[in-house]
Amino acid sequence: MNTAGGKAYRPWTPELYAHQAHAPAAKLPDDDLVFFLIDVVPKLDLSQIHAPYQDETRGAPPFDPAMMVCLLLYAYCVGVFSSRKIAQACERNLAFLAIVGEERPDFRTISLFRKTHLETFAEVFVQVLLLAKAAGLVRLGTIAVDGTKVQGNASRHKAMSYGYMTQEVGRLRAEIQELLQQARDVDAQDDAALGSRRGDELPEELRRREDRLTTIEAAMKRLEAEARAAADAERQRREDAEAQRQRTGTKRRGRAPGPIVETPAEKAQINFTEPELSIMKTANKGWDCCGNAQASVDDGCQIILACEVTAECNDKRQAEPMAQATRGQLDQAGMAPAADETGERPLIPAVLDTGYFSESAVAALERAGFDSYIATERQRHHGATSAAASEPAVAPATAKEKMQAKLKTTAGRAVYARRKAIVEPVFGQIKEARGFRRFLLRGLDQIRGEWRLVCLTHNLLKIWRYGSGFLRGSRCALIN
């Protein structure tokens, strides 16, 4: 049996499976992805994944965590995300058999292992970043940040608007009072016929309505809390804008904004199956329960440096958390640019589309060590563009004017033009090539772990395609 720190696991010896009849090694190419992962995964530091098994002595030996990690990574690389489909592939797919051999986990084991160790894959993500850096796939010349909507594991028909919930609450309370009165009347008339029953049990119809009322009221409270948070954010935005006008001496343009509303709109919706996600407008012009999946991508070989999932419908407040997450990953991996002789770190150019722009976003990116290039307004397709300038003609006053002037320069245009070529193909590769269009897990914490696993395997695919030749001779030293 294999051991790690004294714990015995079921034997995992993929080198033996390769020499059996109809062996995967005889049928698959030598440079197949599965052999790359079988070579890499055992050399990763999986001590955090091994830890929960070390003190457990009950029951049969578990599957080797290294094998389970390799299985999950390969499955996500080739677009097999369901635990049932992974278990099925372990019985009939040569590449999966090359990983599991005769020890084939069932779908419950695979699902439980994934849920248990989702957070631990954050450390594996950093190790893969180090591999990508060692293979020369990360250069930190320019990074691009963007988001894409990924459907949640919930039906759009399980959602209800705040206005309709208000009506339902009134209707349910009236029906509950009516049922309670009926129950009191029946108890008074038939008390002698109750037998061994106490006489105070809730009728099934009453219990069903009370449970529904509790669910709806909890959903209403969530929407009300979100509305108050949005009102606070809008109040802060107006205060910042007013302070900016006071500093520059400019006057307000257009109509004065209306009063801030702290109650949810009548059409504000929430999904009862997945209440932590929002109902978002999707690319097909429809509405669905989605998560806003964010990614920070390097321009070298489209390596994902940091990832996150938020329930907010737009990207307005995502620039600062993504800047902090990217800086944190770079620091943890030891990949951040070294300080110069003056002790200051050079700024890394970061490009973001117009959905991210705000004065606070520009300041947050600069604090995190990034030189921001953020579009301030949506560009019209096939519209005429003005000639680039080396320097702005008039000294800009506001943060928006400064960014507009920066993007009009020749250098600014050249940097921003790279955005689409850096980050948008990554979402196409994940959603179209691998077919990841819907989260399988529920709850923001679980969804964030699942998105991290998707981004981690995206990076592994890049290393296999572009950096495996470099790593073949020095992989042990790079990982250890």
pLDDT at 283 > cutoff 70 = yes
* Average predicted confidence (pLDDT) for the chain: 82
Mean pLDDT score, 107-127 = 93
pLDDT at 399: 83
Which of the listed ranges 1-10, 356-365, 460-469 does the model predict with the highest average pLDDT?
A: 356-365
What pLDDT score was predicted for residue 269? Answer: 75
pLDDT band with cut points at 50, 70 and 90 for residue 477: very low
Question: Quick check: 33 and 74 in contact, CB under 8 A?
Answer: yes
The domains of the chain are located at 2-117, 136-154+274-464, 160-252+259-271
How many other CB atoms sit within 10 Å of the CB of residue 381?
5
Most confident stretch, 276-285, 306-315, 398-407, 450-459: 450-459
Are the C-beta atoms of 309 and 317 separated by less than 8 Å? Answer: no
DSSP per residue, 378-401: PPPTT---PPPBSS-SS---SHHH
What H or E segment, with its residue span, contains residue 468? helix 468-472
Q: What are phi and psi of 304, to 5 degrees?
A: -80, 125
Please count the other Cβ atoms lying within 10 Å of the Cβ belonging to residue 342: 6
What confidence tens digit (pLDDT) does each residue in 24-67 have? Answer: 777 888 889 999 999 999 889 999 998 888 877 777 788 899 99
What is the pLDDT, as a whole number, of residue 425?
Answer: 95
Phi, psi (5° rounding) for residue 257?
Answer: -65, 150
Compute CA distances 253 → 231, 237, 245, 449, 474, whole Å: 22, 16, 11, 44, 62
Report yes or no: 318 and 292 within 8 Å, Cβ to Cβ.
yes
Residue-wise pLDDT for 195-208, tens only, equals 555 545 556 766 77
Helix (H) or strand (E) holding 140: none
Top pLDDT among 83 and 337 is at 83
Task: State residue 46's pLDDT score.
Answer: 92
Burial of 75 (0-12, 13-18, 19+ CB in 10 A): buried
Q: Which residues, in sequence order, are CB contacts of 436 under 8 Å at separation 6+?
A: 79, 81, 150, 430, 454
Higher pLDDT: 370 or 195? It is: 370
Contacts of residue 291, defined as CB under 8 A and 6 or more positions apart, other chains included, come to: 149, 150, 152, 277, 309, 310, 311, 439, 444, 447, 451
Comparison of pLDDT for 404 and 340, the residue scoring more = 404
Residue with tokens 């640019």: 337
**Average pLDDT for residues 404-417, to the nearest whole number?**
92
Separation CA 155–CA 273 (nearest Å): 8
Instruction: Give buried/exposed letters for 446-471 (b at 16+ CB in 10 A, else e).
Output: bbbbbbbbbbbbbbbbbbbebbbebb
Q: What is the mean pLDDT of residues 403-425?
A: 92
Which residues fall within 8 angstroms of residue 14, CB to CB, at 6 or more apart? Answer: 38, 98, 99, 101
261 CB-contact burial (10 Å; exposed 0-12 / middle 13-18 / buried 19+): exposed
CA distance 38 to 30: 12
Residue 142 φ then ψ, to 5°: -150, 140
* The one-letter amino acid at 316: K
pLDDT band at 285 (very low <50, low <70, confident <90, very high): low
Q: Which of residues 250 and 133 earns the better pLDDT score?
A: 133
For residue 39, give both structure tokens.
């070579």
The stretch 354-360 carries a mean pLDDT of: 90
Q: What are phi and psi of 46, to 5 degrees?
A: -110, 25
Amino acid at 22: H
Q: What is the pLDDT of residue 191?
A: 58
CB-CB contact of 147 with 430 (8 Å):
no
Residue 10 is predicted with a pLDDT of: 80
337 vs 105: which has the higher pLDDT:
105
Give 293's pLDDT tier (boundaries 50, 70, 90): very high
Look up residue 261 and give its two tokens.
């509303």
79-88, 158-167, 381-390, 406-415: range with lowest mean pLDDT: 381-390
Lowest pLDDT segment from 16-30, 102-116, 333-347, 355-369: 16-30
Residue 351 carries which side chain, given as an amino acid letter?
V
pLDDT of residue 17: 64
Higher-scoring residue by pLDDT: 428, 53: 428
- Average pLDDT estimate for 117-143: 92
Q: Is the pLDDT of residue 480 over 60?
A: no
Going by pLDDT thresholds of 50, 70 and 90, the confidence category of residue 159 is confident
Grade residue 475 by pLDDT with cuts at 50, 70 and 90. very low
- The average pLDDT across 471-479 equals 42
